[in-house]
Amino acid sequence: MKITDFYSYRKPGRRISMITAYDYTLAALAGESDVDCVLVGDSLAMVMHGHGSTIAATADMMALHTAAVARAVKDKLIVGDMPFLSVRKGLGPAMEAVEKLARAGAQAVKIEGVEGHGEIISHIIKSDIPVMGHIGLTPQSVNKFGGYKAQGKDPASAERLVAQALELERLGCFALVLECVPEELAKRITGSLKIPVIGIGAGRFTDGQVLVLHDLLGLYGEPPPFVKKYLDGRRLVVAALNNFDKEVKNSVFPECKGKEYANSEKHGGLAEAQGRPALRR
Ligand code: KIV
């Protein structure tokens, strides 16, 4: 999927799928899959680095992970998240952060919120860097929200979200992420915009859905209730590790192939044939 496909995909019956990726190995699997679009989300601060929120993500951190993802994903749109406060320190620092992400391989950036940084969003778009908006439960505002709480539940905040969505479209965003708002509000916002709306915890009626990859694979903590686990990853990985542990302790692994391995140059050859880097041991 290219950025231009976003518009043509906004037709009845065609939904957009987006998934986060942060590292080379899982990004390569996302790249092999049918998923449309890859987001290097600032959720990496939590999922990859163990922080308690996305506030810990920095532009350098985002660029490092974006570069790893870009090495793996060749034919999909890669969107990089602008981290906490990166659009609130003025135009110069914002453009420096954008440049880091773009040079690392992001073809577009995602920015949370709009109030107070509409001009910066507009400047980024006029600099030919496509911008994906993000409103609703914007995790970088967790401290203002007093936790990870659904947004737009009362009429005033619902109207504010509609206005923000329209403003992001007016500024020239190519798409919008709408996070944790009531389904009816998400339906209304989706129906009010020409650009595609990608929902997360926002019900069935948006133009697409995004999930955190490690939530979908069941690898990271207890996911939010709207997540569907497509794999019981933690159980499977721990079971594999326990199997390895048992086989080592019972002298089942390795089967007497150690000598062959030590004398063989095959390993590097096999890795190369599979198109992945050879082990450096
Ligand atoms: O950082 C992230 O993973 C995100 C998605 C959940 C939308 O912003």
Question: What does the pLDDT profile of the chain (281 residues) look like in tens digits?
Answer: 788 887 777 776 789 999 999 999 999 999 999 999 999 999 999 999 999 999 999 999 999 999 999 999 999 999 999 999 999 999 999 999 999 999 999 999 999 999 999 999 999 999 999 999 999 999 999 999 999 999 999 999 999 999 999 999 999 999 999 999 999 999 999 999 999 999 999 999 999 999 999 999 999 988 999 999 999 999 999 999 999 999 999 999 998 765 566 655 555 555 555 566 655 44
Q: Do 186 and 253 reside in the same domain of the chain?
A: no
Residues with CB under 6 A from ligand 1: 20, 39, 41-43, 54, 81, 177, 200, 210, 212
Q: Is the pTM of this model over 0.75?
A: yes
Q: Do 170 and 259 reside in the same domain of the chain?
A: no
Domain count, the chain: 2
In a domain, 131, yes or no: yes
Active site residue ranges = 179
Q: Do 119 and 190 reside in the same domain of the chain?
A: yes
In a domain, 281, yes or no: no
| Secondary structure of 209-220 in HEC code, one letter for each residue | EEECHHHHCCCC
Q: Do 31 and 159 reside in the same domain of the chain?
A: yes
Pocket test for ligand 1, best of 43, 135, 213 (most atoms within 8 A of CB): 43
For residue 110, give the ligand 1 atom closest to its CA.
8
Q: Do 121 and 44 reside in the same domain of the chain?
A: yes
In a domain, 278, yes or no: no
DSSP conformation class of 43: T
**Domain extent at residue 55:** 3-232
In a domain, 73, yes or no: yes
Q: Distance (Å, rounded) from C-alpha 200 to C-alpha 113?
A: 15
Q: Do 167 and 241 reside in the same domain of the chain?
A: no
Residue of minimum CA distance from atom 4 in ligand 1: 41
CA of 54 to the centre of ligand 1 (A): 9
List the CATH number of the domain containing 82.
3.20.20.60
